[in-house]
Amino acid sequence: MFRLWGKLWKDNHLITDTTVCDDSADTRTHKVFRALDEVCVRFDLGKPIWLDKNIREFQRHAKTRFSPDNFVETVEFDYLEIQIIEE
């Protein structure tokens, strides 16, 4: 089972979090993008833009942070963090 944990942080405090599970036979990349889409729907956010920094962090640590600069619209948090907690 694939599980991704999404967390919203503001002023070093966890505002809210959610976990997305995926049992499909898809590739890891497809599961990550689908889970990120689900996290954004649950938090009522637009999709963040993946920068090179995010890709490198995610490849190394299975975890990355999206700052307000990664979003087209204005957001009310310091960063969105996603992390794979089970593969």
Q: For position 1, what pLDDT does the model report? A: 87
Q: Where are the domains of the chain?
A: 2-86
Contact 68, 74 (CB under 8 A): yes
Residue 67 pLDDT greater than 90, yes or no: yes
C-beta atoms surrounding 75 within 10 Å: 20
CA-to-CA separations, 29 to 16, 33, 40, 58, in angstroms, rounded: 24, 6, 17, 11
Confidence at residue 86, expressed as pLDDT on a 0 to 100 scale: 84
| Per-residue model confidence as pLDDT tens digits over 3-25 | 999 999 999 999 999 999 988 88
Over the Cα atoms of the chain, what is R_g?
A: 12
pLDDT tens readout for residues 21-61: 988 888 889 999 999 999 999 999 999 999 999 999 999 99
